[in-house]
Amino acid sequence: MLPVAKVGSVLPACDGYVMRLRNGGYVTELVVNNEVIPLLARSRSNDTGASGTRGIPQVPGVMRMLDHPNIVKLYETFEDLRNVYLVMELCTGGELFERIAEVGNFTEKVAARLVRQMISPVYYMHSRGVVHRDLKPENFMFSNPRDVTEASLKIIDFGVSKRIAPGQVLRTRACTPYYVAPEVLSSKYTNTCDMWSIGVIAYILLCGSPPFYGENEMEIIRRVRRGSFEFDLPAWTTVSTEAKDLIEKLLVLDPSRRLTAEQALHHPWIDSLAPGASVKVCSPAEHDDGDSTGVLARDNRSCYLRGWRKCCDRKFSWLRPYRLGP
């Protein structure tokens, strides 16, 4: 059992190992004999905190039953009277959106590869009776800092995930407004809510803007309930019909008509990695400035995504799950 300790402190030696805690940027890191191991510490007092969603006790159980190359591995758990500690697989490549903003210009084929790495673990989870319920770019990290065409994308946060029986209907309205499925807002949903979230992420990856935008959380939720979206930004003029078709079949109001993870994996855009894609880079806006190098597209996407993330962090709680109503 790990003692409660502050970041930067050296922990008591255990079986010849020298351990200390340090801030790793995304999570606290446990350094054991100079080897870095991510250590996620969650306070027991937050089990049913203000968000009403962070059910820490079930997280280790869910993660132990999952073994997939696109899901972060849980190696060990410790606990004391105050905290539950999760010893995780080390991912050093950064969050999905941060890497995309850094890389800037990328092709539709790269976007298809990323989306396939999201759908594959979701299919695996669903086949084992696990629903994630909070898929969003902040919950995907790259395994290493190599190019996005080489690094693996991994789901990292299972704080609101749940094991469900076949046909079981869930009612807890745990969500992040931008990515929440409409049926979750009605407190009657199944694992198909995860596929809606993937549709939202795919939309954002391809154009740099969310399909359901609002100046506040309630406006976003009203638009999500309506489920109406357009491919009206200039960026969509160079996106293939196959990509748009996948998004249209994921962002379907009726969950029974929405693509399952298995069906999405066999969609032409995923199965063949964007066969009809343009070779042009994906950009949130098009400029006729003779930019043959793609520099403007890269800078535009980077500034747009970073600015949007800062706006989210400053104004709203879109980037954290919360409970709507009782």
Which residues participate in catalysis according to the annotation? 134
Question: Whole-angstrom Cα distance, residue 271 to residue 262?
Answer: 11
The rounded Cα 273 to chain-centroid distance in angstroms is 20
Question: Whole-angstrom Cα distance, residue 244 to residue 250?
Answer: 10
Structural element, H or E, at residue 37? strand 35-43
Q: Is 3 buried (19+), middle (13-18) or exposed (0-12) by CB count in 10 A?
A: exposed
Question: Whole-angstrom Cα distance, residue 190 to residue 131?
Answer: 8
> Of 48, 316, 43, 25, which Cα lies nearest the Cα of 176?
316
Quickly list H helices, 65-145: 96-103, 108-127
The 8-class DSSP code of residue 152 comes to: P
Question: Whole-angstrom Cα distance, residue 210 to residue 28?
Answer: 31
Residues forming beta bridges with residue 79, ordered by sequence position = 84
